Amino acid sequence: MLQENGSLILLTSRDIAEDSPLYVADFRDIQALVYVPTGNWLGTDGGGIRLGKGPLEMIDGVWYMGEDLVMKEKHHNIQLSPELLSFGVID
């Protein structure tokens, strides 16, 4: 499912809680997870959670984005908790 160009897959969840599973954001989703301290989208490259940035692009029904390399340098090993997450509208 990952694109060969190094894009991140946008992540979403049904609820923001300690035990909420994360899902791949696809064509059915209208919101996705945002890391509150930076305002970045949350994504994955298959090797962990990464901070992403727009523009968001749908490819084969799945939302993709680029990794925010500036934020990657500033925020290492981020710890996710419900207080640090919110939902952003996918547009």
Q: Give the closest residue to 2 by CA, choosing from 77, 67, 53, 54.
A: 67
Look at residue 2 and tell me whether its pLDDT is greater than 80: no
Separation CA 48–CA 65 (nearest Å): 15
pLDDT at 48: 87
Look at residue 79 and tell me whether its pLDDT is greater than 90: no
- CA separation, residue 77 to residues 42, 57, 63, 71, 83 (Å): 13, 26, 23, 11, 17
Indicate the domain borders of the chain.
Answer: 8-89
Q: Report whether 33 contacts 65 (CB < 8 A).
A: no
User: What rounded mean pLDDT belongs to the chain?
Assistant: 91
Separation CA 34–CA 85 (nearest Å): 6
Instruction: Choose between 87 and 77: higher pLDDT.
Output: 87
pLDDT at 3: 57
Q: Residue 21: which pLDDT band, with cuts at 50, 70 and 90?
A: very high
Look at residue 80 and tell me whether its pLDDT is greater than 90: no
Tens-digit pLDDT profile for residues 26-70:
999 999 999 999 999 999 988 889 999 999 999 999 999 999 999
